[in-house]
Amino acid sequence: MKKIMLSGGGTGGHIYPALSIAKAFRNRISDAKIGYIGTKNGLEARIVPKENDIQFFDVEIQGFQRKLSLDNLQTVAKFLRAVRHCKRYIQQFQPDVVVGTGGYVSGPTLYAAARLGVPTLILEPDVLPGLTTRFLSRYVDVVAISLSGSEKYLTKANKIIHTGNPRGTEVTHADGKKGRESLEISDKEKPLVLIFGGSRGAKPINEAVISMIPRIQKAEHLHFVYVTGEVHYQEVIANIKDGSELPNLTIKPFIYNMPDVLAGTSLVVGRAGASTLAELTALGVPSILIPSPYVTNNHQEANARWLEEQGAGMMIKEKELTGERLWDTIREIIEHPERHQQMSEAARSLGCPDASEVIIDELERLSQNHG
């Protein structure tokens, strides 16, 4: 096995696991060749071409409306056209295996590969499988699930394996000391509480944090890192009148070295996307999850509830979020060392730091069996 074709798009939660698999494949196969099928206007079209030695192919695709709509007729037409393009790309690149990591673009890619008889695997990063995974599960050779519990939704799958999320592999070598130093946190022993709402931020989380400022000011035994998102940064700064009076609060619009910062964190407050869960469980970081209610099929709530049921996190629904409730929940975890330790151990027990290697092993078996 020397050639692999990847496909995933729309969000970083689909793209970064694919790149983690690419990295593991390249590390194992010295003369590896890697192709990637994505949409021409998606996030993957900006991220993937920056990677060395990955050949990028683009198609046009859109998702189905979840209600009856004439737009779905156009979606079907685009899907069939994308399948034809993907078949041409696959025949041109001649991969030994094709891997999808989610997003609408994985649909025509893996369907085309299956029809051409090329071994296929799709990774499902969330507890609640997306429409693309459910559709493809009957066609692909293997469905790799990241979180236990997904299998009950995939009754028509040919084979299911639990691999974990390859994104977790990327953070296992993170350096917490470097993360804290990058934020200029002088006290090495002070517990760090990291609060963020995704790359663009989340206004309800921002509002809750702003209302907690008087409490944060008095909590000198803790250090808070508050990531507002680029869109909200200036507004947040304007609402916090005198940041100089808050030496235990660091405010950033965005953090580029998130793995290192996470590795030095005692407690995370944030959304419940698949990549976030992979990072938290790989590092064993307890969390307070506020799932976004605006995502497809409300899958973040399913993710958050799963982590809470495992004893590794606590969930607050966005509609129930207040500064007071968030503060009380932070204290419930951070000021009770035994509870914090139990949650940390539970989180780490769920992590799959070798997910990428497990997936490569399965791909090699698929390739050999096909050969």
**What class does CATH assign to 3-170+353-370?**
alpha beta
Residue ranges of the annotated binding site are 11-13, 199, 255, 300
Tokens of 21: 């698999």
For residue 4, the one-letter residue type is I
pLDDT of residue 73: 61
State yes or no: pLDDT of 264 exceeds 80.
yes
The sheet carrying 160-162 orders its strands as 54-59, 33-39, 3-7, 97-100, 120-124, 142-145, 160-162
Q: Containing H/E element for 207?
A: helix 203-211
Average pLDDT over residues 176-183: 94
pLDDT of residue 72: 57
Extents of the domains making up the chain = 3-170+353-370, 173-350
pLDDT of residue 130: 87
Query: Which residue carries 């051409």 as its tokens?
Result: 116
Mean pLDDT of the chain: 91
pLDDT in tens, 106-122: 999 999 999 999 999 99
State yes or no: pLDDT of 192 exceeds 70.
yes
- The CA distance from 343 to 67, in Å, is 40
Q: Whole-model pTM above 0.85?
A: yes
Burial track 18-35 (b if 16+ CB lie within 10 A, e otherwise):
bbbbbbbbbeebeebbbb
pLDDT of residue 266: 97
Tokens of 313: 């996190």
Instruction: Name 161's bridge partners.
Output: 144
Residue ranges of the annotated binding site for UDP-N-acetyl-alpha-D-glucosamine are 11-13, 199, 255, 300
Tokens of 320: 């129930």
pLDDT of residue 10: 85
Out of 3.40.50.2000, 3.40.190.10, 3.20.20.80, 3.30.43.10, the CATH code matching 173-350 is 3.40.50.2000
Average pLDDT over residues 294-311: 93
pLDDT of residue 62: 65
State yes or no: pLDDT of 193 exceeds 90.
yes
Judge if 3-170+353-370 and 173-350 fold alike in CATH terms: yes
pLDDT of residue 66: 53
Average pLDDT over residues 324-349: 97
Angle at 351 between CA 350 and CA 356, to 5 degrees: 140
pLDDT of residue 136: 95
pLDDT of residue 96: 97
Rounded-to-10 torsion of CA 302, 305, 306, 309? -160
- The CA distance from 287 to 57, in Å, is 38
pLDDT of residue 15: 93
Average pLDDT over residues 129-146: 94
pLDDT of residue 287: 98
pLDDT band at 242 (very low <50, low <70, confident <90, very high): low
pLDDT band at 235 (very low <50, low <70, confident <90, very high): confident
Average pLDDT over residues 35-47: 93
- The CA distance from 189 to 268, in Å, is 17
